[in-house]
A = this chain, B = another copy of it.
Amino acid sequence: MQALSERNKKILCAIVQSYINYPDPVGSRAVTKRYSFGLSPATIRNIMADLEDLGFLTQPHTSSGRVPTDLGYRFYVDSLVAEESYHPNIEVLHDLYRKLETLKNDIDTLLSETTKNLSTLSHYLGIAMSPRPNMTTLRRINLLKLGTHKIAAVLFTDEGLLKNKIITMDSDFTQRDLNRIAGYLNSEFAGQTVDDIRLRIIREMSKEKTNCYRLISRAMRICQEAFTFPYSSLFVSGLSEVLELPDFADLKKIRELSRAIEEKHNIIKLLDRLSESEGVQIVIGSENSLDELKKLSVVVSPCKEGDLTIGVVGIIGPTRMNYSRAIYIVENTAKFITKMLAER
């Protein structure tokens, strides 16, 4: 079992390419017809058998054409340089995203609309996520008295997130109290991540018994609630788009897909991990650690402004995905969103 010859690499890529374009297993004759390697079907057959032995291809059943394995797709994606594949014109993308300009102050709506763009462009599921509030850097906190025992905490972060929480307290506060507390919190905590702040609060709280400053002890109690955010918002759209694909022609596949996207929790974790790196990340089928995604591929890119991750955008689709196109779309979407958010 020797390594891949240059020629065989090309043939492997051609097979993958062909399968991506036409949803049928590709046979030896199809390869000779669609690509001109100057080889006869019989030779291609031999090579295909070799590629199968190496784990790049499989046969759905004896005597049908070959289909790429996840390893095959991986090889193809890794050797994708500048495919001649047809992409949506950059202008089209530009126009689509220009329409979202007005939303740049409302991250959630912006991201949710972005997923619609992603899915109409790619015909796969569009996904987008705002940064987890827990990982963001506090710029400013304001406390507003809403009613007896009720306080609104308004958090504003470096990433441009504006989050609010209603807190119900045992004791009552005047707005003046709250201003002083907020002032204290800002001086102490501004510039730290919400997570770090939470940690510090827990430490402070344990010291609290011995703490004679009422201000601080009260501030701590408020914070404990204010800095606890239950979720990061994940937006998904384009289900009806995906259901048109031949890859999701049977009920079982659809069930799997729907389960995958209902477990937002898991996808959030995945995206969190993927958004640590830079640029477009691609996870193909079984490479995925999540069971629900083992038959799907994920193409995502973080939107980064310097070191700050201000969002993640991407696509989920079948492993038989037009990767070249998907990468192009995700890459440029990330660029547009980043630019838009940077201009705020």
Which residues of A are at the interface with B, using a C-beta cutoff of 8 A?
103, 105-106, 109, 139-140, 142, 144, 146, 152, 154, 156, 160, 162, 164-168, 230-231, 237-240, 243-244, 249, 251, 254-255, 258-259, 261-262, 344
Q: With A156-B152, A240-B259 given, is the CB distance from A166 to B254 under 8 Å?
A: no
- Whether B262 lies near A167 (C-beta < 8 A) is no
A142-B142, A146-B162, A254-B254 given; name 19 further pairs at CB < 8 Å: A103-B230, A105-B165, A105-B166, A106-B166, A144-B154, A154-B154, A160-B166, A166-B344, A238-B262, A239-B239, A239-B261, A239-B262, A240-B258, A243-B254, A243-B255, A243-B258, A244-B255, A249-B251, A251-B254
Q: With A140-B146, A152-B154, A251-B249 given, is the CB distance from A165 to B106 under 8 Å?
A: yes
* CB-nearest residue of chain B to A152: B162
Point out the residues of chain B lying under 8 angstroms from A258, CB to CB: 239-240, 243
Point out the residues of chain B lying under 8 angstroms from A243, CB to CB: 251, 254-255, 258
- Whether A164 lies near B165 (C-beta < 8 A) is no
- Per the bound structure, the CA–CA distance linking A230 and B99 in Å amounts to 14
- Whether B344 lies near A105 (C-beta < 8 A) is no
- Whether B105 lies near A168 (C-beta < 8 A) is yes
- Per the bound structure, the CA–CA distance linking A142 and B182 in Å amounts to 15
Point out the residues of chain B lying under 8 angstroms from A162, CB to CB: 146, 152, 164, 166
Point out the residues of chain B lying under 8 angstroms from A152, CB to CB: 142, 154, 156, 162
Tallying the copies of this chain within the complex gives 2
Point out the residues of chain B lying under 8 angstroms from A156, CB to CB: 144, 146, 152
Q: 8 nearest interchain CB pairs?
A: A105-B166, A240-B258, A239-B258, A240-B259, A243-B255, A142-B144, A162-B164, A164-B164
Could you say which of A103, A146, A231 has the most chain B C-beta atoms within 10 Å of its C-beta?
A: A146
Name the contact of A154 in the complex, choosing from B109, B164, B238 (C-beta under 8 A). Answer: B164
* CB-nearest residue of chain B to A261: B239
- Per the bound structure, the CA–CA distance linking A164 and B154 in Å amounts to 9
Could you say which of A140, A244, A254 has the most chain B C-beta atoms within 10 Å of its C-beta?
A: A254
10 contacts between A and B (CB under 8 A): A105-B165, A105-B166, A106-B166, A142-B144, A144-B154, A154-B154, A162-B164, A240-B258, A243-B255, A244-B255
Q: With A152-B156, A243-B255 given, is the CB distance from A106 to B146 under 8 Å?
A: no
Point out the residues of chain B lying under 8 angstroms from A105, CB to CB: 165-168
- Per the bound structure, the CA–CA distance linking A259 and B103 in Å amounts to 25
Point out the residues of chain B lying under 8 angstroms from A146, CB to CB: 139-140, 156, 162
Point out the residues of chain B lying under 8 angstroms from A254, CB to CB: 243, 251, 254
Closest Cβ–Cβ distance, residue A166 to chain B (whole Å): 4
- Per the bound structure, the CA–CA distance linking A126 and B135 in Å amounts to 31
